[in-house]
Amino acid sequence: MKKGKILLVSLFVIGLVVGMLGSNWLKDRAVETGATITGTKGPVKSSTALASSEVTLQANLPRGTTVVKLACEAVERMKQKDYKGLSDLIHPEKGVLFAPYSTVDPEVNLTFQAKDIAEMAGNHEKYIWGMLDGKGTPIEMTMEEYFKAFVFNVDYTTAPEIGVNQILNTGNSLENVLQVYQDGTTIEFHIPSVHSEMEGMDWCSLKLVFEPYGNTYKIVAMVHSQWTI
Q: State the pTM of this model.
A: 0.76
Domains of the chain: 26-226 (3.10.450.50)
Q: How confident is the model at residue 140 (pLDDT cuts 50, 70, 90)?
A: very high
pLDDT higher at 179 or 36: 179
pLDDT at 115: 98
pLDDT of residue 135: 83
**What pLDDT score was predicted for residue 5?**
47
**Which of the residue ranges 38-42, 92-96, 102-106, 177-181 would you say has the lowest mean pLDDT?**
38-42
Confidence of residue 159 (pLDDT cuts 50, 70, 90): very high
What is d(CA 189, CA 156) in angstroms, rounded to the nearest whole number? 6
Distance CA(66)–CA(163), nearest Å, equals 15
